Amino acid sequence: MLDDFFTRALVAGLGVAIVAGPLGCFIIWRRLAYFGDTLAHSALLGVALAFLFQINITLSVFLVCALISMLLLALQRRATISADALLGLLSHSALAVGLVCLAFMTWVRVDLMGFLFGDILAVSKADIAIIYGGGALTLVVLCFIWRSLFASTVSYELAEAEGLRPEFANSIFMLLMATVIAISMKIVGVLLITALLIIPAATARRLSGGPEQMAILAAVCGAMAVVGGLFSSLEWDTPTGPSIVVVALLLFILSFGPIKQLKGHLSFAQKESNDG
């Protein structure tokens, strides 16, 4: 029988994976990996502010990530430097400010390694409620803006011409990313959140035949990584957050070989059945 803490970790990890997969697809399509890193690094500043003002950590991380994303949008319109330079500036500055703030708060005992690399085995029932509540809201909103967001990903000008309000969809998408980072920080940590968003989506991209199928497969690949990472961590006593990312990486590597071949065999069998 599995212990209660392991069961909670499994349920929480699956909840994060199901939400992170579809969002990760848009990160892949839009080439926003560095943007995801920026928001993830700024999460540590949210942790520091949560301790300073005695507020909920998840709420604080969400507010800081949302502020950073909106600040980036504003700076992109006015600044004369490139977008990747802005992302680097905001990413490392937010991470450094967060670390300095935590260093000054000597009266607070902080598990820095837990925040940086995750502590999924310490999730509580309240954490699970936050993950599934925030995750459900994220998926509902993503479904609502899916058409506009996907159209603007393909062609911003065409989406604007069709009246799909791509600017509004982009802003909502950034807020959704802030939500996912806030609810998943405890699972894989600040430094590994982007990996959980990107690697399952990259794996699904090699196996899918359309955008909706890719989103579903990304969630499945993320769930497989969580299950595999948790059980491998239990078996070999390895860090849980990094173990999840390593399993996700192994799935990506397998997508070049056995999984890809399996997909080809299934497609051939389906074609033969349809012809028959």
The DSSP line for 193-252 is HHHHHHHHHHHHHHH-SSHHHHHHHHHHHHHHHHHHHHHHHHHHT--HHHHHHHHHHHHH
Residue 192 pLDDT level (bands cut at 50, 70, 90): confident
pLDDT at 153: 87
pLDDT at 122: 86
Residue 264 pLDDT level (bands cut at 50, 70, 90): low
Whole-angstrom distance between the N-terminal and C-terminal Cα of the chain? 47
202 has pLDDT over 80 = yes
Q: Where are the domains of the chain?
A: 4-275
pLDDT at 267: 54
Query: Homologous superfamily of 4-275 in CATH?
Result: ABC transporter involved in vitamin B12 uptake, BtuC (1.10.3470.10)
